[in-house]
Structure formats: structure tokens, C-alpha cells
Copies of this chain bind each other. A is one copy, B any other.
Amino acid sequence: MPSVKPIEYAEASPAVRAVYDDIMATRKIDWINNFWKVLAHDPATLKRTWESLKQIMAPGALDPLTKELLYLAVSVNNGCQYCTASHTAAARKAGMSDAMLGELMAVVGMANETNRFSDGYRIEIDAAFEPNFR
């Protein structure tokens, strides 16, 4: 059970509804997921988070699918269940196939394994990996 009551559209303030409307329009959907309905409890955070997310996930030097894959990888890494479920759905919608999910998981698993080797053996950074702008 969430710590605060999700706020439905019908009971939302005009400021919250404006964000809900923009989420639905931007995503071309007709419902709001629990994440936003809980954040609505703090309208400033709701607005700031949605606007940041919208800007960050828009196409740029990286395409939207790549961004969704990165988002999912971090969510898996953090063991966040809601985020893993919602961003698996989002990544599939953006074009992630089962094979891509399998490869994403393999990279995430492998990185976690080698990260522990690097930290555990206290491996020194090779000079060749340092940028040379100094």
C-alpha cells in the first residue's frame, strides 16, 4: 500500500490536472499511472519531475529507445520493482524486443559482476583511460 493516497483526475486540483493532461497528450494515452497520482500529492514535485522527464526522454543525440533501455537498466540495477515493471512496459512500447531485453539483462548482469571485481581488487585506473584535455 502506498504511503500517500493516489489522487484521481476527478479529485485533482487544476494545477495537477494540467500536468495529467500534458502527460496524456504527450504520451497519447487516456490514463495516468500510479507514479504521477502519488506525486500529485506534492504539485511542485509533480510538475518539476514531469517536465524534467519530458525533456530528458525526448529524442536528442540518443534515440528514445536507447533512452528507455538506459532507464530500465538503472531501474533493474536499483532493484526498484515499480520502475522495473513500468519501464519494461515503456521500453517494449518504444520497440524493445524480447531479444533486446535478453541482451540488456546480460550487459547489466555482466557489468555488475565486473564492477565488483574492479572495486574488490582495488584495480588502478590505466593512464590510457584518462582524457587528455589537461
Given contacts A74-B111, A114-B53, contact A42 B122 (CB under 8 A): no
Q: Is the CB of A115 within 8 A of B75?
A: yes
Chain A contributes a number of interface residues (CB within 8 A of B) equal to 83
Q: What is the bound-complex CA distance between A104 and B130, given in angstroms?
A: 19
Closest Cβ neighbor of A48 among chain B residues: B52
Count of this chain's copies in the oligomeric assembly:
6
Q: Looking at chain A's contact residues, is the secondary structure mostly helix, strand, loop, or mixed? A: helix
With a cutoff of 8 Å between Cβ atoms, the chain B residues found around residue A126 in the complex are: 33-34, 86
- Chain B: CB-nearest residue to A35: B123
Task: Tell me whether A131 is interfacial, beta carbon within 8 Å.
Answer: yes
Q: A56-B103, A103-B56 are in contact. Are A77 and B74 (CB under 8 A)?
A: yes
- Minimal beta-carbon separation of A47 from chain B (angstroms): 10
Contacts A3-B120, A70-B70 hold; do A82 and B125 have CB atoms under 8 A apart? yes
